[in-house]
Amino acid sequence: MIIPVILSGGTGSRLWPLSRELYPKQLLNLVNPDASLLQETVNRLIGFKEVEAPIVVCNEEHRFMVAEQLRQIAQPAESIILEPVGRNTAPAIAVAALKAMKLSSEAMLLVLPADHAIRKLEAFYKAILYGQQHAQQDRLVTFGIVPDHPETGYGYIKASESLGFSGYKIDCFVEKPDQAMAAGYVAEGGYFWNSGMFMFKAATYLAELQAYAVDIFNAAKQAFDEAKTDLDFLRLDKASFTACPEDSIDYAVMEKTDKGVVIPTDIGWNDVGSWRALAELHASDARGNSQLGDVILRDTENCYLRSEKRLLAAVGVKNLVVVETDDAVLVAHKDKVQDVKKIVEELKSHQRSEYMLHKKVYRPWGSYEGIDEAERFQVKRITVKPGASLSLQMHHHRAEHWIVVKGTARVTCGEKEYLVAENESTYIPLGEQHRLENPGKIPLELIEVQSGSYLGEDDIVRFDDVYGRTQ
């Protein structure tokens, strides 16, 4: 039994302004216009018949989006495990391994980050089969990427003696090098990029984790043992998991174990870790420019230009990344794209919403998008999926006007329940309990005008919610 473990807990801050904390890169259609990186990760396993349904580990804030994206591709997870806080890969893999052990004591894990691109699927499948041979011998396998250029953005793995099945004993892990050291690694050979993909028996990993990082093992086990089922999710115990030390599988286990194996691979891998990395995945014109969206260029070279909403025009520039969204524009030199993360940190330190949310925010029932706002009002476009409903709620500081522009709404307002059709409107007074539902077969679209002294999203008191939310 090979169980994929999809790690979907990152925020992808280097791909801001598209990637936001509450809508991170793995949920975005960055490479394939028809599928997110998460969906691509799950879809590429369909062609490999030896695997079971995946275990997905994600941030609890992303749970409904993850579940919805899996539903869209008709690939349900064996389990979606919710992390109350991020604690890096060692604890995340530990709770997945504990879950897998409930399914089979011989379960084998194929650990895959949710945000990578792989273009050579047959080579990928072949590497998994080699990994399976080593994992059956109680080895811990990591997949190294054969470098095609000196790269300073990745860590490296140095291989030593051959162990058969294309595997090598791991000599050591090497931190991200400078340019000269990276060039030396490529020239010398035997060094491979650290892909962050692994394969091993769940029992073997847990035994090695207990041997080398017992504090992580104990905290992860307690968080798993005290986990609660919540709808389609497994919610880890918050106190136990929050107390777990934060560490990667590399530091906690792989650098210490004597069971480590690296399998060098050439699978068309890209970690989609920066705008420069993403640009490598898109076709470019004769002058090296990649254009996505409504873009016009003149006298421009070696640029990545992406427009999400508006016309983007560039004249006389070189080696730039320009990304436009409805609330932010990024302009960065290609050599500085790793520093985009520092912009996100600054936004966060100033408590600006742009690090966390887009104008369009997804909810389990649909989405809402900010259209306009001022001191005492804001206007939103709301879409409710067929059959979905918002919570029964009230607000202390605002009243709301709803204008239906498509579909039919069922509205609860106080003691009344009634339908609102297209081109009709209704008023929700301040302090009144209310609920919005879509009883129809098509999406419900409406314009909401909020007015009051405070318009924050935290001014919601929920009385009943089909999604189990309290905030």
Per residue in 407-430, pLDDT (tens digit) is: 999 999 999 999 999 999 999 999
372 is written with which tokens? 């306009």
- pLDDT tens-digit series, residues 364-405: 999 999 999 999 999 999 999 999 999 999 999 999 999 999
Specify the pLDDT at position 47.
Answer: 79
Quote the CA–CA distance of 397 and 30 in Å, as a whole number: 39
DSSP of 225-259 = HT-EEETTEEE--HHHHHTSPP--HIIIIITT-S-
Helix (H, G, I), strand (E, B) or coil at 422: coil
Average pLDDT, stretch 432-452? Answer: 97
Quote the CA–CA distance of 222 and 212 in Å, as a whole number: 18
- pLDDT tens-digit series, residues 260-297: 999 999 999 999 999 999 999 999 999 999 999 999 99
Q: What is the mean pLDDT of the chain?
A: 95
Rg value, the chain, Cα:
24
Closest-CA residue to 85 (of 66, 109, 59): 59
Quote the CA–CA distance of 265 and 122 in Å, as a whole number: 11
Specify the pLDDT at position 427.
Answer: 98
Is the pLDDT reported for residue 227 higher than 70? yes
The beta strand positions in 116-259, using DSSP E, are 117-118, 140-145, 156-164, 167-174, 191-201, 228-230, 233-235
Tell me 299's DSSP state.
S
pTM for the whole structure = 0.91
Specify the pLDDT at position 49.
Answer: 82
Specify the pLDDT at position 470.
Answer: 64
414 is written with which tokens? 């106080």
